[in-house]
């Protein structure tokens, strides 16, 4: 009988998995199969095929040609991507782009240069779509350095073109270098290759920007864990943490790139798993979580395709610093930039509507101290994997 007696660690693992399965069942019942309609006052954006993207850009080129032949001048309505045109959709819990437009015309040297850059990007994207090739944002910049002058100019034109075509950037076959990593209990197919994310070594699978080639094959994970930094991923990877607590672990290695956010959303949507985020206890960590959750203002038109809007903030919460006895010498005083960012976040509608989140940021502002995930290692190198994360899930202590 003693041989069959379960250890405290085994009992904890069973309890954690039970809680996660209840979360999964609640998710299935309450949210996963609902198809929300976007508000009428936002820009409609679709994920479209290469053929459809090619047709749309060809039609746009013909429209501009006809306009030049008729009037001798060119103009183009481009959706306005400034803060004044960002809409918070409370029903879908997303940041979205509104319908306001900025008309680009030939009437000054600056505007001529601006619309010429946009037309040049149209030409490049048209060629990529025609040849069924992908191009990186960096390659597009280097295709006409003298015209673009800086990559920020070509990047802006790429995003403007996507909004004009009412599609996401990936549908234009333009990709950005990806830096994110995934590891754990998931098998995918990348073109003809089956990849087991448990067998990718300690570094995990580097998320590809060519996500149109990737299919999800199978998973026996109970949840998804997103960690802000590579250091936390290394600790979890070395411990093979997904074996004891069946999960898929993502890291954007700081502010996540588009490919990481898009792949995370796809895994979350297909597998319908509870999803948690672990970030530093500072305003920037909370901001990173908000981008995963609701999208960014800069790419608000893509939010429905990038945001994982049922993700919970697991930690490191401000209240955790005292609750888990993080030593004072491991906490860092907030500087003026931190305080400013924290105040700005407290004014966001989506944070005001989430009282626990608002309260935690208020506490951070009051204490004026921050800490990295690695501060937990002051309690021991295994503290994150053996105590902090299991306890947080076991007690359902998340936002």
Give the pLDDT score at 363.
Answer: 96
Distance (Å, rounded) from C-alpha 214 to C-alpha 166?
23
Facing residues of 292 across strands? none
Please state, in angstroms and rounded to a whole number, the distance separating the CA atoms of residues 268 and 274: 8
Question: What is the C-alpha separation between 178 and 176, in angstroms, rounded?
Answer: 6
Domain of 131, in residue numbers: 50-175
* Residues 235 and 316 grouped into a single domain: yes
pLDDT score of 162 more than 70: yes
User: Both tokens of residue 396?
Assistant: 């359902």
Whose tokens are 């909004």? That residue is 163
Looking at 144, 175, 206, the residue that finishes a domain is 175
Residue 10 counted as domain residue:
no
Are 95 and 296 within 8 A, CB to CB?
A: yes
Regarding whether 186 and 108 lie in a shared domain, the answer is no
Is 6 a domain residue? no
142 is catalytic: yes
Residues 133 and 186 in one domain: no
Q: Which of 88, 142, 284, 388 is catalytic?
A: 142
Is the residue at 105 inside a domain? yes
The pLDDT, as a whole number, for residue 31 is 59
Residues near 335 by beta carbon (within 8 Å), at least 6 away in sequence: none
Instruction: Say if residue 131 is exposed, middle or buried (CB neighbours under 10 Å; 0-12, 13-18, 19+).
Output: exposed
Helices and strands, number each (H, E), in the chain: 17, 17
Q: Residues 6, 15: contact at Cβ < 8 Å?
A: no
* Minimum mean pLDDT range among 200-204, 346-350, 395-399: 200-204
Are residue 166 and residue 199 in the same domain, yes or no? no
pLDDT digits (tens, 9 = 90+) for 225-247: 999 988 899 999 999 999 999 99
d(C-alpha 367, C-alpha 324), whole Å? 16
**257 and 389 share a domain?**
yes
User: Do both 81 and 204 map to the same domain?
Assistant: no
pLDDT, mean over the chain = 90
For residues 347 and 243, membership in a common domain is answered with yes
Residue 256 domain flag:
yes
CB atoms inside a 10 Å sphere around CB 330: 15
Range of lowest pLDDT (88-92, 127-131, 353-357): 88-92
Residue 73 shares a structural domain with residue 150: yes
CA angle 320, 323, 324 (to 5 degrees): 80
Same domain, 109 and 195: no
Quick: pLDDT tens for 32-73: 455 667 788 888 899 999 999 999 999 999 999 898 888 878
Q: What is the CATH number of the domain that holds 153?
A: 1.10.10.10
> Tokens 């001048």 identify what position?
73
- 102 by DSSP, 3-state: which? strand
Last residue of a domain, one of 175, 205, 231: 175
Q: 20 in a domain, yes or no?
A: no
pLDDT value for 1: 46
CATH number of residue 220's parent domain: 3.40.1360.10
pLDDT of residue 32: 47
CA–CA separation, 148 and 309 (whole Å): 35
Q: Are residues 232 and 99 in the same domain?
A: no
What SS3 class is residue 105? strand
> Are both 189 and 246 inside the same structural domain?
yes
- The last residue of a domain, from among 111, 140, 175: 175
The percent of the chain in helix, strand and coil, each rounded to the nearest 5, is: 55, 15, 30
Q: Is the pLDDT assigned to residue 195 strictly greater than 90? A: yes
Identify whether residues 245 and 212 lie together within a single domain: yes
Instruction: Give yes or no for residue 264 having a pLDDT over 70.
Output: yes
Strand 174-175 versus strand 94-97 pairing type: unpaired
Structural domain tally of the chain? 2
* Residue 142 located in a structural domain: yes
- Whether residue 314 lies inside any domain: the answer is yes
Domain contains 261:
yes
**DSSP calls for 162-231:** HHHTTB-GGGGTEE-----EEEES-EEEETTEEEEGGGS-TT-EEPPS-GGGEEEEE---SEEEEESSHH
C-alpha dihedral (313, 257, 260, 234), degrees to nearest 10: -70
**Which one is predicted more confidently, 95 or 32?**
95
Q: To the nearest whole percent, how much of the chain has pLDDT over 90?
A: 62
């Amino acid at each position: 009988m003693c041989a069959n007696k379960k250890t405290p660690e085994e009992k904890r693992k069973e309890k954690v998995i039970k809680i996660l399965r209840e979360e999964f069942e609640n998710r299935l019942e309450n949210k996963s199969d609902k198809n929300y309609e976007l508000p009428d006052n936002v820009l409609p954006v679709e994920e479209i095929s290469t053929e459809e993207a090619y047709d749309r850009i060809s039609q746009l080129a013909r429209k501009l040609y006809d306009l030049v032949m008729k009037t001798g001048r060119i103009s183009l309505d481009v959706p306005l991507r400034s803060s004044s045109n960002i809409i918070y959709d409370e029903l879908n819990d997303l940041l979205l782009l509104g319908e306001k437009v900025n008309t680009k015309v030939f009437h000054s040297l600056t505007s001529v240069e601006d619309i010429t850059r946009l037309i040049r990007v149209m030409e490049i994207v048209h060629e990529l779509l025609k040849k069924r090739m992908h191009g990186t944002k960096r390659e597009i910049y280097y295709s006409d350095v003298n015209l673009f002058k800086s990559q920020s100019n070509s990047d802006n034109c790429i995003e403007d073109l996507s909004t004009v075509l009412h599609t996401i950037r990936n549908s234009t076959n333009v990709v950005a270098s990806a830096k994110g990593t995934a590891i754990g209990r998931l098998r995918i197919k990348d073109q003809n290759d089956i990849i087991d994310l448990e067998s990718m070594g300690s570094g995990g699978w580097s998320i590809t920007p060519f996500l149109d080639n990737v299919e999800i094959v199978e998973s026996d994970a109970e949840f998804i864990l997103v960690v802000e930094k590579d250091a936390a991923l290394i600790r979890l990877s070395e411990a093979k943490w997904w074996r004891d607590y069946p999960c898929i672990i993502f890291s954007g290695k700081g502010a996540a790139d588009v490919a990481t956010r898009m792949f995370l959303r796809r895994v979350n949507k297909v597998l319908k798993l509870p999803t948690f985020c672990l970030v530093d206890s500072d305003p920037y960590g909370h901001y990173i979580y908000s981008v995963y959750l609701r999208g960014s203002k800069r790419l608000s038109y893509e939010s429905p395709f990038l945001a994982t809007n049922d993700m919970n903030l697991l930690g490191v919460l401000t209240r955790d610093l005292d609750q888990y006895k993080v030593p004072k010498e491991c906490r860092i005083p907030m500087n003026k930039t931190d305080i400013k960012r924290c105040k700005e976040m407290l004014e966001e509608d989506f944070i005001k509507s989430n009282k626990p989140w608002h309260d935690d940021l208020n506490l951070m502002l009051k204490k004026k101290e921050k800490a990295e995930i690695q501060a937990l290692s002051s309690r021991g190198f295994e503290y994150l994997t053996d105590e902090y994360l299991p306890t947080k899930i076991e007690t359902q202590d998340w936002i």
